[in-house]
Amino acid sequence: MRFTKLRLNGFKSFVDPTDLVIAEGLTGVVGPNGCGKSNLLEALRWVMGENRPTAMRGGGMEDVIFAGTATRPARNFAEVALVIDNGERLAPAAFNDSDHLDITRRITRDAGSAYKVGTRDVRARDVQMLFADASTGAHSPALVRQGQISELINAKPTNRRRILEEAAGISGLYQRRHEAELK
């Protein structure tokens, strides 16, 4: 599954609707300090189901909503969409009926987050599992935050094991087992 587009609207510093087209090959993002490079990576992690405010450099989940500046008022929602090329039909069966997967997460002040795949309402869990199966996702070892290497070195063995399981692509199985046990 290849990411082809990231669409932001009201997310952190991206107050106006912004499309980031992700072409084949390597994509580099350059710009001066504070222009929003890290916010882009956070948007990617967020749309994949990140629910820890600390991973978003915020105090609460609503801190991802554009907070306003001296000249522009704050927004009351933030939305990020991720478009994935599904030409090879590698998505889980429930979502495997089109060439593109359009995954959207929207947070509204005082109303929490809502997720969609295409036009269908889905649970956070569905989105998290979709990415867990693809060995990517909010906790993916492919996304390396500043300071994360030293965290890994100092981590407790159980936490380090979780990272290795994610890298090995088996965390989706654990999540499924957990869901089955709850039912």
* Closer CB to Mg ion, 13 or 38, in the complex: 38
- Kindly calculate the radius of gyration of the chain based on its CA atoms and give it in whole angstroms: 17
37 assigned to a ligand binding site: yes
Question: DSSP code of 93?
Answer: G
Q: How wide is the angle at C-alpha 140 spanned by C-alphas 52 and 144, nearest 5°?
A: 85
Stretch in the footprint of Mg ion (CB under 5 A) among 30-38, 104-112, 126-134, 171-179:
30-38
10 assigned to a ligand binding site: no
What minimum distance in Å lies between the beta carbon of 33 and ligand ATP?
A: 4
- Burial, 47: exposed, middle or buried (Cβ in 10 Å; 0-12, 13-18, 19+)? buried
* Closer CB to ligand ATP, 39 or 136, in the complex: 39
Handedness of CA 84, 87, 89, 90 (dihedral sign): negative
Query: Rounded distance, CA 168 to CA 145, Å?
Result: 19
Residue 66, contacted partner among ligand ATP, Mg ion, none, CB below 5-8 A by kind: ligand ATP
Residues in touch with ligand ATP (CB under 6 A): 12-13, 31, 33-39, 63, 65-67
Site for Mg ion in 32-91 (CB under 5 A): 37-38
What minimum distance in Å lies between the beta carbon of 38 and ligand ATP?
A: 3
Residue 67, contacted partner among ligand ATP, Mg ion, none, CB below 5-8 A by kind: ligand ATP
Question: DSSP code of 40?
Answer: H
Residue 9, contacted partner among ligand ATP, Mg ion, none, CB below 5-8 A by kind: none
* 135 is an interface residue for Mg ion by CB under 5 A: no
**Which is nearest to 43 in space by CA: 27, 71, 58, 64?**
64
Residue 13, contacted partner among ligand ATP, Mg ion, none, CB below 5-8 A by kind: ligand ATP
Query: Rounded distance, CA 145 to CA 106, Å?
Result: 23
